[in-house]
Amino acid sequence: MVRVLHYIGGLGFGGSQMFVMGLYRNIDREKVQFDFVVFENQLEGFQKEIIKMGGKIYKCPRYQGKNHIAFQKWWKTFFQKHQEYPIFHCHVRSTASLCIHTAKKYGIIVIAHSHSISNGSGFRGKIKDIMQIPVRWQADYLFACSEKAGRWMYGRAAVKRNNYRVIFNAIDTKRFQYNKEKRMKVRKSLKIDKQYVIGTVGRLTEAKNQKFLIDLFADIHKKNAETILLIVGDGELRGVLEQQVKNLGLSDHVIFTGNKSNTQDYYQAMDVFVFPSLWEGLGISVIEAQCCGLPCIVSERIPKEIDMKAKLVFIVNLRKKEEWVKQIQKQKGRERFSQVKALKKAGYDINCVTQWIQNFYSCLAGSINE
């Protein structure tokens, strides 16, 4: 058995976590086993499922600058103690360079994986940009969820090298296919009758731009009182967003579900999916929504690979608020169909991607043992 160590920061329901867990659920765990390094206090989410599937979880300190020496010492001690890992798959960006060189000293093959196209704004974002630059030379393999995510993290020269690959953020299409009976059941549990449900799924953070979505909903609700906004996910901005909803007098018409491991059920309840992100490596939620047959209104900041060519994606500039309102309203009454075939054709089926990853890990581990 090959044990692969994933450095992923947290175990919440973010896009990179959903992707890795999709691989983990479908991989042959008698041949490949996943273990995880996460930041302290970031265990909520997939912890129980990982342990049930035989994975181990290690807690490392969160990098804060002032603990630079202690952070590097933690990784040195870790790799000295745990020499059972031939492969280190790193999904964290800014602090990756601080531990990759340590892994390399112990003969471990390193895969860097880009899941984003921005570290955010301000001084902190600039520091992260600088810190991640060495990764393009340190890692043995450079993975990205889209061409845009690859160019952003590794640079235009690196993405032309033989060690670079775009790995689609594939999903379990069976989980996300449209089911009318399940739709009625979920809507009933949410006390939704015939209202038009505008939905989104994602962490409540600056990047996902839910503040903009709530403003859109306020305009739509003035024109049509029979509307509901369904927000699935949690994050540091939840309190701010809930206060925004309260200030707008919309508390009875906006549902915050918090984090959910069964997000596939909540897509069923929606009538239109709205994703006004400021930046995205890909946007796996839009892939899931399309699989469920939902029309998706997305920002121009989303990578082009998100469109499954099923005539479900409508790209709107964030500066054109009226166009967002128009497109959202336009989808009312649209008939739903599962899009499993379209996703498989586009390369987003988890079984195909998992098989490739499994073979790749096995070949890498085999090359070490030769």
**pLDDT tens per residue across span 147-175:** 999 999 999 999 999 999 999 888 888 88
Structure tokens that stand for 366 in this block:
């085999």
Residue 263 belongs to what domain range? 173-346
Q: Which of 264, 286, 282 is nearest to 273 (CA)?
A: 286
Cα–Cα distance, 78 to 145 (Å, whole number): 28
**What pLDDT score does 44 carry?**
72
pLDDT of residue 273: 98
Instruction: Looking at the structure, tell me whether residues 8 and 75 fall in a common domain.
Output: yes
Record the tokens describing residue 352, joined without a space. Answer: 């195909």
How far apart CA 368 and CA 370 sit, in angstroms, is 6
Q: Are residues 86 and 218 in the same domain?
A: no
Q: Per-residue pLDDT for the chain (370 aa), expressed as one digit of tens each?
A: 899 999 998 887 778 888 999 999 999 999 999 999 998 776 677 889 999 999 999 999 988 888 899 999 999 999 999 999 999 999 998 889 999 989 999 999 999 999 988 887 778 888 888 888 999 999 999 999 989 999 999 999 999 999 999 998 888 888 899 999 999 999 999 999 999 999 999 999 999 999 999 999 999 999 999 999 999 999 899 999 999 999 999 999 999 999 888 899 999 999 999 999 998 888 889 999 999 999 999 999 988 888 888 789 999 999 999 999 999 999 998 988 888 888 888 888 899 999 999 999 999 987 665 5
Q: Residues 259, 361: one domain?
A: no
Q: Do 43 and 147 belong to one domain?
A: yes
Q: Are residues 82 and 150 in the same domain?
A: yes
Looking at the structure, do residues 6 and 150 belong to the same domain, yes or no? yes
The span from the CA of 236 to the CA of 234, in Å, is 7
Do 73 and 135 fall within a single domain? yes
Task: Say what the pLDDT of residue 310 is.
Answer: 77
Q: Which helix (H) or strand (E) holds 230?
A: strand 227-232
Q: What is the pLDDT of residue 13?
A: 73
300 and 180: one domain? yes
Residues 222 and 335 placed together within one structural domain of the fold: yes
CATH number (domain holding residue 57): 3.40.50.2000
- Same domain for 182 and 140: no
Number of domains forming the structure of the chain: 2
In this structure, are 108 and 136 located in the same domain? yes
3-state secondary structure 132-169: CCCHHHHCCEEEECCHHHHHHHHCCCHHHCCCEEECCC
Two tokens, residue 333: 């009454």
Residue 70's identity, in one-letter code, is A
333 and 363, same domain (yes or no): no
Q: Are the C-beta atoms of residues 297 and 316 closer than 8 Å to each other?
A: yes
